Structure 1
Amino acid sequence: MNRAAIIVAGGSGTRMGTQTPKQFLCIRGMPILVRTLSVFLECLPQSPLVLVLPREQKDTWQQLASAHFEADQLGRIHLCEGGTSRTASVNAGLQRLQGLVAEAHRCLVAIHDGVRPLVTPQMIRQSFEVAASEGAAVCTVPLKASIRKRTAGGKTQAVKRDDFLEVQTPQTFRLSAILQAYQQRAQEHFTDDASLFEAAGGEIAVCEGSYENIKITTPEDLAIAAIILEKRMHDSAARLPQPKMVIIDVDGTLTDGGMYVSSSGEQIRKFHTRDTLALHRLVSRYHLPFGLVSAGTHAALLEVLSRQLGISHVYAGTLPKVTIIQQWLDELNLGWQQIAYLGDDLNDLPVFSRVGCAACPADAATQVRQAARVVLSRKGGAGCIREFLEEVLGYDLLRT
């Protein structure tokens, strides 16, 4: 069956205590909604995504979209105006999706909250697999807290916790079936799509959610999400082999990728002081072989930088990066799996496929982010190298 997704993002910033809608707030330097969409774009590389937003948030979305997504990704994200309730917004998204697919009965659709950015590709894939066999799948987790039920007269009554599950998204259905359910019950109030589907006569199967898949609605949720993201990055880093050499691309990582040209035609690059300090301390304290490799032509600039920082291997030119790095490895008697590499663009992909650790900045090209083992929270030229060295590779650059 074909697959698609509807991302519903109609929240405000009221409970956050801010005028910025919560889906546009940042966690570790990236907007919540961008994080959510990025997971679905990665998991559904050929599928349409319908993004449901209030009309007044369209301009904000357009600004974020151009800054964070490639043209091919934006071509798969179809904007849809939301309604006055979640039910109305999902219904609008379903109608929009129906116009994008040829056969609704041959399509599965995952409906997901835009402010659940910590969903994983594994959860999304599992929800599609269960929905394909059972007709509808809802991600759930067991309750951890004790609960009580309100009764008449303002009293409460204890209930057995084991009889209940906490419901999350994604919630995945056959598109034709959920369309029919919404046609029957769209005027009623439901807090989630599974409840509406069940009220219309459908049956629900459950699949495993995650306690990390939180819905971000309060400032406390933002703080928790940031901790989870940091833990995920550290867990990934803990599984990495300790590198024997670190190599970094220049444009788009050490710099922001911009090119500044003086009136005399001189090209100028901008470096972040956090990054250059981190490089200097890495080389001077750990005595680790370090390389800068660039497909550009600013060799003289890199020579100056390498002398100032004590960098042992530098190349700027038109030869393939793989060729240059192989020469360095032969010289040092090292293998590709002993290398940690940071790059941001398509010409870094041949290196990514060989090294033990491949990382990229937050604003790297789409294909590079998909191929990287670690995607950093900082952009190129904005401290991503220091993040790579300290938080991913674990070097203590602050000790005296």
Structure 2
Amino acid sequence: MFNNSEIFTPLGAGGKKYAVIVAGGAGLRMGTAMPKQFLPLRGKPVLWHSLNTFLEAWPGLEIILVLPQDHLHTGETIVSTTSNPARIRITVGGETRFHSVKNGLTLINEPSIVFVHDAVRCLITTNLIHRCYDAALEKGNAIPAIQPIDTLRIETPDGNRLLDRQLVRIIQTPQTFYSDLIKKAFDQPYDTSFTDEASVVEKLGIPIQLIEGEASNIKITRPLDILLAEKILEEREW
């Protein structure tokens, strides 16, 4: 078990900030030939919306964009249309999400706060980014999560049983950490239990800090999600 003070050096409120934006998915559930991060959403690719929101969050924040090898040119074209392409670096993804994030983290070599974000959570707001930063600055990490509204049941060897949804949380991104902490966590060997960055950090014995996420911070996965995202963006523009 590690203490926070053993694994990261506290930063001031004006410390360096990086966002590792992971855009390596194939989008098989979307049923399209083009990966979902490149699909159009109100005239811009899904990825563009995620990049631009992080660029707007702070003028000094830098982005590391992790892309599939086969789609580097597409990503470069999208980056060139953002509000500040000079603050975005591109690297190639790996075999799994763990390896893709690890590739992005190798480009961070100074004490900082690091956001790891799914490119297809394109409705992220600067408000949520700021709240994740403030919480991580204080606690070492911050993971946005929301409470489910549906009734939940879990399958067991004896059938299934009801879960108390008051005790369950749906995890979102950006998952936010001190750079020392997350880089140390990603020095661990890959494990199939690593489904997100919080699970990697948790294996070090670090308590995970949940903060309130946003219901609109959906992950574009199915065609219906594009329709929902279009509507949310339309209402934000009113």
The two structures share one fold, judged by TM-score above 0.5:
yes
Query: Quick one: which of 56, 64, 74 aligns to 2:70?
Result: 56
Contact kept, 8 Å, 1:87 with 1:189, in 2: the verdict is no
Contact kept, 8 Å, 1:185 with 1:200, in 2: the verdict is no
Contact kept, 8 Å, 1:108 with 1:172, in 2: the verdict is yes
Instruction: Tell me if 1:3 matches 2:17.
Output: yes
Contact kept, 8 Å, 1:150 with 1:156, in 2: the verdict is yes
Contact kept, 8 Å, 2:16 with 2:60, in 1: the verdict is no
**Offset at residue 189 of structure 1 (A):** 4.0
Instruction: Tell me if 1:179 matches 2:208.
Output: no
CA distance in 2, matches of 1:65, 1:93: 16
Paired residue type of 2:136: A
Instruction: Tell me if 1:204 matches 2:204.
Output: no
Q: How many residue pairs were aligned? A: 224
Query: Quick one: which of 21, 27, 36 aligns to 2:50?
Result: 36
CA distance in 1, matches of 2:211, 2:189: 25
Q: How do 1:265-344 and structure 2 match up within 5 A?
A: none
Contact kept, 8 Å, 1:43 with 1:121, in 2: the verdict is yes
Instruction: Tell me if 1:86 matches 2:100.
Output: no
Query: Quick one: which of 157, 162, 185 aligns to 1:158?
Result: 162
Unaligned 5+ runs, structure 2: 1-14
Q: Which has the larger radius of gyration?
A: 1
Residue of structure 1 equivalent to 2:11: none
Q: How do 1:376-391 and structure 2 match up within 5 A?
A: none
CA distance in 1, matches of 2:55, 2:207: 28
CA distance in 2, matches of 1:198, 1:159: 23
Paired residue type of 1:161: R
Instruction: Tell me if 1:228 matches 2:238.
Output: no
What is the TM-score when the length of structure 1 is the normalising length? Answer: 0.54
CA distance in 2, matches of 1:37, 1:43: 10
Paired residue type of 1:193: E
Q: How do 1:246-261 and structure 2 match up within 5 A?
A: none
CA deviations on 1:104-149 (whole Å, 9 max, x unpaired) are 3xx1101100000101000000000000000100011111111111
In structure 2, the residue corresponding to 1:184 is in which secondary structure?
coil
Contact kept, 8 Å, 1:91 with 1:186, in 2: the verdict is no
Q: How do 1:24-173 and structure 2 match up within 5 A?
A: 24-66=38-80, 68-69=81-82, 73-98=84-109, 103-104=110-111, 107-153=112-158, 155-173=159-177
User: Which structure dedicates a bigger proportion of its chain to helix?
Assistant: 1
In structure 2, the residue corresponding to 1:191 is in which secondary structure?
coil
CA deviations on 1:199-247 (whole Å, 9 max, x unpaired) are 221111111211100000110100110011111122xxxxxxxxxxxxx
CA distance in 2, matches of 1:145, 1:185: 36
Contact kept, 8 Å, 2:17 with 2:113, in 1: the verdict is yes
Query: Quick one: which of 165, 180, 195 aligns to 2:199?
Result: 195
CA distance in 1, matches of 2:200, 2:231: 34
**Offset at residue 63 of structure 1 (A):** 2.3
CA distance in 2, matches of 1:63, 1:78: 13
Change (3 A) 1:65 1:3: closer
Residue of structure 1 equivalent to 2:8: none
What is the TM-score when the length of structure 2 is the normalising length? Answer: 0.90
**Offset at residue 185 of structure 1 (A):** 4.1
User: Greater relative contact order: 1 or 2 (C-alpha under 8 angstroms, separation 6 or more)?
Assistant: 2
**Offset at residue 65 of structure 1 (A):** 2.6
Paired residue type of 1:120: T
Paired residue type of 2:215: Y
CA RMSD, aligned part only? 1.3
Paired residue type of 1:160: D
Residue of structure 2 equivalent to 1:255: none
Identity of aligned residues (%): 38
CA distance in 2, matches of 1:53, 1:157: 40
CA distance in 2, matches of 1:187, 1:179: 16
Contact kept, 8 Å, 2:193 with 2:199, in 1: the verdict is no
In structure 1, the residue corresponding to 2:206 is in which secondary structure?
coil
CA distance in 2, matches of 1:88, 1:181: 12
Contact kept, 8 Å, 2:120 with 2:219, in 1: the verdict is yes
Contact kept, 8 Å, 1:24 with 1:31, in 2: the verdict is yes
**Offset at residue 69 of structure 1 (A):** 2.6
In structure 1, the residue corresponding to 2:205 is in which secondary structure?
coil
